[in-house]
Amino acid sequence: MKIKYFNYNILKSTNDIAFKHILNVNDTDTAIVVTANEQTAGRGRNNKIWFDGTNNFYYSIGFKHSTKKLPLYLIQMIGGLAVYNLLSEILEEDNIRLKFPNDIYAKENNKNIFKKISGIITEHIFIQNGICTSIIGIGINNKQKKFPNDIDAISLVNLNKNIENDYLIKRLTEILLVLIQEEKENIFILWKNKLKLKNKKIYIIDNQTGQKIKDKFILKTILDDGRLLVSNNDNNTKIIDNGDSIRYDLL
């Protein structure tokens, strides 16, 4: 797959610019990579605002694909796996967690505390005949040393890693291209194994209040489309999907 790179000093959103560039691509063999030195209006899931700090890594990759070969539910798995694999080359793998559905956490030095180091958001536009345009937006806290008190985050520089954004762009793109062309069954297995959700107590978060819903759940199985089938103490089952926010112990 060929790559066209676009780097900007300041953008509102790398995803927005990636969409504009990929609409000018007429094949499934070319991907667009958009990066920015600073982002002012990044998006999170459920229309939430993504915190945009300085000296961080803002990246989007856009490509067209057949939804038969690469179903949409796999796109976010690919994004999470790519960042997990990238950071596993920089940090000890045991100090990294892939959190459902779209975040990466890293362990604070000398503490059993995991803090958010990366977020992934995927967006799609259907075209026709089973072809879709997908964008994977990725933010990694790279060189930011301090965060607001209400944000539980950590960066690579906090973990004593001095990594240039140019390296992250190159290596992340290489990893993503391998995963995009991977067999879909293998992507699911890799993602499922990295989640480490077995026997975890799962709490669902009310998206309006940000508070835990009273019941706690245990994972029964991860469905083929990446949703979680969970049950509570009364054996009532519930499906948790990409639109739900959950908390569980990452240790």
- Does the model's pTM come out above 0.75? yes
> By the 8 A CB rule, do 219 and 198 touch?
yes
- DSSP state for residue 159 in the 8-state scheme: G
User: In a 10 Å sphere around its CB, with 0-12 CB exposed, 13-18 middle and 19+ buried, how is residue 18 labelled?
Assistant: buried
Q: What distance in Å separates the CA atoms of residue 101 and residue 242, rounded to the nearest whole number?
A: 6
pLDDT of residue 149: 83
pLDDT of residue 79: 97
Homologous superfamily of the 2-195 domain (CATH): Bira Bifunctional Protein; Domain 2 (3.30.930.10)
Residue-by-residue pLDDT tens, the chain, 251 positions: 999 999 998 888 999 999 999 989 988 999 999 999 888 876 655 455 555 667 799 999 999 999 999 999 999 999 999 999 999 999 999 999 999 988 999 999 888 999 999 999 999 988 778 899 999 999 999 999 988 888 889 999 999 999 999 999 999 999 999 999 999 999 999 999 999 998 899 998 876 666 777 789 999 999 999 999 999 989 999 999 987 889 999 98
pLDDT of residue 53: 66
User: What is the residue extent of each domain of the chain?
Assistant: 2-195, 201-247
For the domain 201-247, what is the CATH code?
Answer: 2.30.30
pLDDT of residue 46: 47
- Strands of the sheet containing 212-222, edge to edge, are 237-240, 228-231, 212-222, 201-205, 245-247
Give the number of other CB atoms < 10 A from CB of residue 140.
Answer: 22
pLDDT of residue 182: 93
Q: What distance in Å separates the CA atoms of residue 108 and residue 182, rounded to the nearest whole number?
A: 32
